[in-house]
Amino acid sequence: MTTGPASDVGSESPVERAFAAALTPRRERTRERLLDAAYAVFAQHGIHGASIEAVCEAAGFTRGAFYSNFSSKEELFLALAERAMRRQLGALEEITRNLEPEVVRCGAVNPDAISTILSVMVPDPGDARQWALMRAELELLAMRDPDVGRPFLAQEEMIRTELGAAIARILDDFGLRFTIDQRTAVDLLLSTYESSARAAVTAGQAVGQDGDAAPGTAVLSQLVNLLMTTTD
């Protein structure tokens, strides 16, 4: 996940809509500053190593301001992850609006188009590396703690549903469709994407580098062309 420009892409959940309606502009700014600060603190110390006090200090707020917006640092991270995913959805739809029709050649998706999309969705390898590390921490925490696992799974379901709808719209614009049911296709694409990002981090660390969590295009390109076909 990356932190690109904000976007209104994707429908919000009922909880989000109710919460957004209750936000004053001032409170919304406070929430955004807490999210920005949390990303910096989590990136430096990890979820376990970061404290609420450190997040508040980085944002310039008190614990009271924190707890008026979030019940825990785990809830804060889930909100941060969802914001990042929504921004990625926005970047995905924006870049595909500007792709040339030749993105589909002889019934297959041009690998160069996939590279272009990934370069926009993952513009900063260092940022991608931090998200890969933080997501791995959150997944482990979700598996160990049901109170984290339940909202984590609910968020995953919502994100995958929205991503599937966005990809389906994009495919339709280019005269393509999934060869299998939409949800299974999205699960396969996300699993491959995330696995590739983790492998990139691990490979970089193994040779003493920071790691470039930008997924490669070779496997993704093959998978895309297995999962998609023309509507003709």
pLDDT in the model for residue 67: 94
Lowest mean pLDDT among 22-26, 142-146, 212-216, 228-232: 212-216
Residue 86 tokens, joined: 């929504």
φ/ψ of residue 229, rounded to 5: -150, 170
DSSP labels, 168-190: HHHHHHTTEEESS-HHHHHHHHH
**pLDDT tens for each residue of 64-79:** 999 999 999 889 989 9
What value does the mean pLDDT of the chain take?
A: 79
Q: What is the mean pLDDT of residues 210-230?
A: 72
Using an 8 Å Cβ cutoff, are 220 and 190 in contact? no
Residue 1: pLDDT band (50, 70, 90) is very low
Q: What is the CATH number of domain 14-230?
A: 1.10.357.10
φ/ψ of residue 119, rounded to 5: -65, -30
> Residue 95: how many CA atoms within 13 Å on its side-chain side?
20
pLDDT above 50 for 10: no
pLDDT above 50 for 4: no
Q: Where do the structural domains in the chain lie, given as residue ranges? A: 14-230
Reduce the DSSP state of residue 13 to 3 states and report it: coil
Q: Which residue do the tokens 């949800």 mark?
A: 183
